[in-house]
Chain A
Amino acid sequence: DAGVIQSPRHEVTEMGQEVTLRCKPISGHDYLFWYRQTMMRGLELLIYFNNNVPIDDSGMPEDRFSAKMPNASFSTLKIQPSEPRDSAVYFCASSLWQGGSGEQFFGPGTRLTVL
């Protein structure tokens, strides 16, 4: 398997623009997580899904952020409108909970810069 795939790897946009980050989890995994990492706040869990259903979105900072998982192989994180303070590295991770250690496999991340 190719691992968790994220696109784009880098995104530079202007304040007010819509940003869409994409994630393809590892095939067969039933959990998908979106994290944000900044120097100031470290690693923050934004939202996670189980079998395509959002379970906990309490980490989503504002209504400007939304996430979807239309099927088992694809998820998006959207920011509309974007602001400079959204600049961060966004990670997607997936895991298979049943019978395992619960290890989460991380993608390479999307580095977002909002000017």
Chain B
Amino acid sequence: GEDVEQSLFLSVREGDSSVINCTYTDSSSTYLYWYKQEPGAGLQLLTYIFSNMDMKQDQRLTVLLNKKDKHLSLRIADTQTGDSAIYFCAETSLSSSASKIIFGSGTRLSIRP
């Protein structure tokens, strides 16, 4: 079945760039997402990329998609303390039931002063 994998933890210094990586198995993925979960809250969509794109930039966020390697990354420039959260990589595809999203285990991003 479909699977999404990502590392569990990442620690970066404030002001540096954070890069969170993700791999997925479904070659028919149509949308790939990054969700953010702050403490005590639900997941919130941060950004998404359509599978026919290889890059998307939105202010401090850059998403890179390597469809050949099934690799997705999220770069956060100038990381701030407010970026501390769990980041979930996710995908949906036409091969799965419509609207079902497969989530990774989440990467906990911590910021060092």
| Residues of chain A whose beta carbon lies under 8 Å from any beta carbon of chain B | 4, 31, 42-43, 45, 48, 50, 55-56, 91, 93, 95, 97, 101-109
Contacts and interface: CB of A to CB of B under 8 A. Distances in A.
B101 A102 contact: yes
A101 B31 contact: yes
B33 A103 contact: yes
Interface string B76-90: 000000000000100
Interface stretch (B16-24, B38-46, B67-75): B38-46
* B contact residues, range: 20 to 34
6 contacts: A31-B99, A42-B103, A45-B100, A48-B100, A50-B99, A106-B44
Interface of B: 31, 33, 40-45, 48, 50, 88, 92, 97-101, 103, 105-106
Contact of A108 (B42, B50, B99): B42
A108 B100 CA distance: 20
A91 B42 contact: yes
Which 5 residue pairs across A and B have the least CB separation, nearest first? Answer: A106-B42, A97-B99, A42-B105, A106-B43, A31-B99
A109 B44 CA distance: 12
Most chain B beta-carbon neighbours within 10 Å: one of A4, A31, A104, A109: A104
Contacts of B41: 108-109
Contacts of B44: 106
A95 B99 contact: yes
A102 B99 contact: yes
Contacts of A50: 98-99
A4 B43 CA distance: 12
Given A91-B42, A91-B43, A97-B99, A102 B106 contact: no
Contacts of A108: 40-42
Given A56-B97, A103-B33, A104-B101, A109 B88 contact: no
